[in-house]
Amino acid sequence: MKRKIPLALCFIMGISMIVQFFIPHPASLEFSSVIYKWIIVLMAFALVLAIGNLIRHHGNKIHRRKEDWQYSIVTLAGMVAMATIGLAWGIDPDSLYQRIYLNVMAPLGGTMFALLAYYMASAAYRSFRARSLEATLLLLSAFIVMIGFMPFGQYLHPRFPAFAEWIMKVPNMASQRGILLGVAFGSIATALKIILGIERSWLGGKE
């Protein structure tokens, strides 16, 4: 029973969602939208567990005075403060909650993202070496695209932008499509195995 009920539920849900795709009837659309609402509710419940884990992890660190424990206070305090502010004073566009979002979370996230400009430079410098035919092709196509998509590309040679575009649209598209088709089959097979109960690692182990 410990395995049969979850497996059966998984099977029923999977089959219903597949069948739903083939039924244009309004009842079928209604069904899919109700289920989606439930899924979101389930995520919210799981979040309670997850936050519990986070509190325990940082609480432990503070309690045992592990290295860098002071920063765990920052995490916990930040979380409690933000949650309280949002729940107590609302989330209107002018609320403190949105202000903190825009002036704390957004700059932190935006700057993390912006670090990528630097990392692209250092990664390219370190590993773009013409060691083999494959590596050389990778390097060359990167170069052509970097030149072609910049405004100065057309001054180097008027056909350069078109060439770069061609690389993106022909060989790049071909390889992406090939990879995608393969991925689709891997993905479909995995989904099918889940529904049919062949792949059951999510149940944990053998029994």
Partner 1 sequence: MTFLLIFLSFLPPNDVIARDRPNDAGSTISLHWNLSVDDSLLDGYVILKRELSAGEMDFEKIGSTVRGVTNFEDENAQDGVQYEYVVAAVKNNEVFHSAPSVPVASSPQVFHTGRINVLAAIAIFTGMLAYFVTKARSGKGLFIRKIAGLAAVEEAVGRATEMGKPILYVPGLGDIDWTATIASMNILGEVAKKIARYDTALIVPNRWSVTYTVAKEVVKEAFISEGSPEKFREEYVRYVTEAQFGFAAAITGIMMRDKPATNFFIGRFWAESLIMAETGSQAGSFQIAGTDSVLQLPFFVTACDYTLIGEELYAASAYLSREPLLLGSLKAQDYGKLIVLLILLSFTFISFFNINLLPILRVQ
Partner 2 sequence: MKWYDRITTIDRRIIYLLLTVLVILPFFVKVTIPQKVMPQTQRLFDFIESIPPKDKAVMISFDYSPQTQPECHPMAKAILKHCFAREIPVIGLSFDPEAPGLAVDALVSVEREIDSLAARKEDSLIYGVDYVYLGWKSGRIAAQLDMGEAISGVFPRDYFGNLIDSLPLMQIVKNYKNIAIVVILASADYPIDWIRYPQTRYGVKVGAGLTAVMAPQYYPFVQTGQVSGLMSGMKGAAEYEKLVLEHGYARTLGNAETGMNSQSMIHILIMLFIILGNLGYFFSRRAKKEK
Partner 3 sequence: MSGDPWIWIGAILTLMIFSFLYKDNPFYKFGEHLFVGVANGYYIVYYWQNALKPNLFEPLSAGQFIYIVPLLLGLMYFARFIPRIAWVVRIPIGFTIGWGAGLSIPALFQADVLRQLEGTVVTPATFSNPASGIWAVIILVGVVCTLIYFFFSKEHKGILGHTSRIGIIFIMIGFGASFGYTVMARVSLLIGRIQFLLGPWLGLID
User: Quick check: 89 binds partner 2 (CB under 8 A)?
Assistant: no
In the bound state with partner 3, the residue whose beta carbon lies nearer, of 146 and 156, is 146
In the bound state with partner 3, the residue whose beta carbon lies nearer, of 75 and 154, is 75
User: Quick check: 26 binds partner 1 (CB under 8 A)?
Assistant: yes
Phi-psi category of 92—alpha, beta or left, where left has phi over 0 and alpha has psi -120 to 50?
beta
User: Quick check: 60 binds partner 3 (CB under 8 A)?
Assistant: no
Q: Distance between CA atoms of 164 and 143, rounded to whole angstroms?
A: 9
Q: How many CA atoms lie within 13 A of 6 on its CB side?
A: 10
> Which amino acid makes up residue 59?
G
Q: How many CA atoms lie within 13 A of 121 on its CB side?
A: 4
User: Quick check: 18 binds partner 1 (CB under 8 A)?
Assistant: yes
Least separation, in Å, of the C-beta of 13 and partner 3?
3
Q: What are phi and psi of 93, to 5 degrees?
A: -55, -30
In the bound state with partner 3, the residue whose beta carbon lies nearer, of 27 and 117, is 117
Q: What's the CA angle centered on 35, arms 29 and 181, to 5 degrees?
A: 75
**Count of chain residues binding partner 2 (CB under 8 A):** 47
Q: Distance between CA atoms of 122 and 137, rounded to whole angstroms?
A: 19
Least separation, in Å, of the C-beta of 134 and partner 1?
10
User: Quick check: 53 binds partner 3 (CB under 8 A)?
Assistant: no
Q: In the chain, where does DSSP find H-type helix? A: 4-21, 26-63, 69-89, 96-100, 106-127, 133-148, 153-156, 160-169, 171-196
Q: What are phi and psi of 150, to 5 degrees?
A: -95, 150
User: Quick check: 129 binds partner 1 (CB under 8 A)?
Assistant: no
Q: Which of partner 3, partner 1, partner 2, none does residue 201 bind (CB under 5 to 8 Å by kind)?
A: partner 1
In the bound state with partner 3, the residue whose beta carbon lies nearer, of 29 and 114, is 114
User: Quick check: 73 binds partner 1 (CB under 8 A)?
Assistant: no
- Convert residues 93-112 into a mask of x (bound to partner 1 by CB under 8 A) and - (unbound): ------------x--xxx-x
Q: Distance between CA atoms of 61 and 59, rounded to whole angstroms?
A: 5
Contact set with partner 2 (CB under 8 A): 24, 26, 29, 32-33, 36-37, 40, 93, 98, 101-102, 106-107, 109-110, 113-114, 117-118, 120-122, 124-126, 128-131, 139, 143, 146-147, 149-152, 154, 161, 165, 168-169, 172-173, 176-177
